[in-house]
A and B are shown apart, each in its own frame.
Chain A
């Protein structure tokens, strides 16, 4: 597989990847290393994983991190209820040995173990790793460097095929150096005007070229304004969908629709007040 395969594969899924991201994904597969994606919210970090899974036609296993996430939710857990039932049932038949209780049948696989024990390499998405606690991050190190998980009762389970691991982070906490060293790194920023236009056309081919151009222009200009929450690509796509749903063909001619659909782009009251119709007039005037 070559670099252009990666780019074409992602493009076929409607994901426009820049050169470095494509290179990162290519290397992640060639070297079998996890890939850490950082960047502001709404630039398509999670979408990458979905696109890769769709392109490779494989499962996407997602682990959403949160504060207090622990091993039993991320790796594995014993099915205590079933074990108890088994004990009860076998007592009636004359006893059981405890070795039978700790087998695959009674193991509840959580995302990480599931990804490791899969036959076909899945895409493992560890989303917002910076929300998890530092202890959990340390736990991840064994999984990410050796692709193995140690279960005291069963022994060490090593991956037969390496999953494609994608981690995303938003920068709410500094990640440890140990984790960063094990990962390839890619920083996704807000896309340039051309890239964003390509994304919009790939995702919503029925939006007319002039309208698409205007939408992207306004969103790009809006990102330069002083906002609390800068609109991401997802917001841009929502807005485009809203506008085309309302049958807008030209932003300058349907100012009312623009103003009411701004709720798709601006998600706080302060931002909404920061973009009154005069400001929008100015932005639209620039791109029209």
Chain B
């Protein structure tokens, strides 16, 4: 996170507020110049010398979603109370530091915030020798870490792999896209004549079948919902899988994609970006914690309770790309899969480990999951992905 320092040339509230907006923008909130004006207007509508009120008002105004809402307090403290600031000099006592760090108008805030404030300050022990603060209570990401993950993902998305995976995803999507209803419905062009309608229309012509109506089997496209594991154990394969997801999105089939490790995030829009590198950049911003632990059942649970209501229907194939190594309770995984099973048409688990010789699903989570899967298929290389097509035809 950027070190906050009030420039000595700062001219009053407006200047500092635009600095605060810039600080929020740097930490991923979607705010701009318009919000600066709004923030000042909001402060004039309340008692701006009360830090509690100012905090609440700015939070309500500037937070855009639940994630921003949770992070706001830490970001607010970091800017206005210099809580994320790196101090290189001799450490003063907490009390003195807090007092001096506060802007003049909020020196007299009530005891309650003072307590939380010092609590936060203790949580942030500066890392000596490091140029940047590492964040507070795990809430703020250091810019350096963010840069690192972005660079990694750009390497992941190299052109050649992308093309191959895209081709594999295309054939796969095509295999399930071309679904037609068994029932025939009226249509302008069709192989069969619609005798019933012809007869009905012939009444108007005195019983002569002059107007010919036709019927055909309308398409009933399948949808794909892909959930890809990007935890530490999957790092080797994420190269293949991210490209594969991008291919799925570009295939023309209705597809929805999510990444998960310990949390779930929707990446459909980021992957839809035509500029591959920019897509990778957007992805990396989302994939904070990329390469950490896994909580498969928790992620699926949050998918089901949030997006699931809309994303799943009777024509949806759920693809889970994961190795099944997970820190949570295997029974929970079975339960959540059973619930997804009720809403979706098919669940397919693509497991990179399955491609290994003599693989047995001994991971407890995989054993709990097996009964609910329609297919458990290998996917460790691009070739393996390409070879999935005949399997998908059968689904």
Contacts and interface: CB of A to CB of B under 8 A. Distances in A.
Contacts of B69: 185-187
A127 to B, nearest CB: 15
B332 interface: yes
A228 interface: yes
B65 interface: yes
A78 B35 CA distance: 38
Interface string B298-341: 00000000110110000000000000000000001001000100
Nearest to A230: B305
B16 interface: no
Given A31-B42, A177-B30, A185-B69, A23 B64 contact: no
A184 B56 CA distance: 12
A27 B307 contact: no
B64 A185 contact: yes
Contact of B57 (A23, A177, A270): A23
B64 A177 contact: yes
A20 interface: yes
Given A27-B60, A171-B306, A172-B307, A3 B53 contact: yes
A174 to B, nearest CB: 6
A181 interface: yes
B46 interface: yes
Given A23-B53, A26-B46, A172 B306 contact: yes
Contacts of A237: none
B362 to A, nearest CB: 25
B98 to A, nearest CB: 22
A226 interface: yes
Interface size class of chain A, counting residues whose CB lies under 8 Å from the partner chain: 20 to 34
A174 B266 CA distance: 9
Nearest to B68: A185
B388 interface: no
A64 to B, nearest CB: 16
B41 to A, nearest CB: 6
A231 to B, nearest CB: 14
Interface residues of B, number: 32
A177 B29 CA distance: 11
B66 interface: yes
Nearest to B31: A181
Given A23-B46, A26-B46, A181 B30 contact: yes
Contact of B64 (A31, A172, A181, A228): A181
Interface in A149-185: 171-175, 177, 180-181, 184-185
A184 B65 contact: no
Contact of B310 (A20, A27, A173, A186): A173
A19 interface: yes
B377 interface: no
B127 interface: no
Nearest to A174: B266
Given A173-B310, A174-B266, A177-B30, A27 B66 contact: no
A173 B64 CA distance: 15
B45 A24 contact: no
Residue among B38, B52, B56, B309 with most chain A CB within 10 A? B56
B348 interface: no
B64 A27 contact: no
Contacts of A278: none
Contacts of B64: 177, 180-181, 185
Contacts of A228: 339
B59 interface: yes
B60 A19 contact: no
B368 to A, nearest CB: 15
Interface of B: 30, 34-35, 38, 41-42, 45-47, 52-53, 56-57, 59-61, 63-66, 68-70, 266, 269, 306-307, 309-310, 332, 335, 339
23 contacts: A3-B53, A19-B52, A23-B53, A23-B60, A26-B46, A27-B42, A27-B57, A27-B60, A30-B45, A31-B38, A31-B42, A33-B38, A38-B66, A171-B306, A172-B307, A172-B310, A174-B266, A174-B269, A181-B34, A185-B60, A185-B69, A187-B63, A187-B69
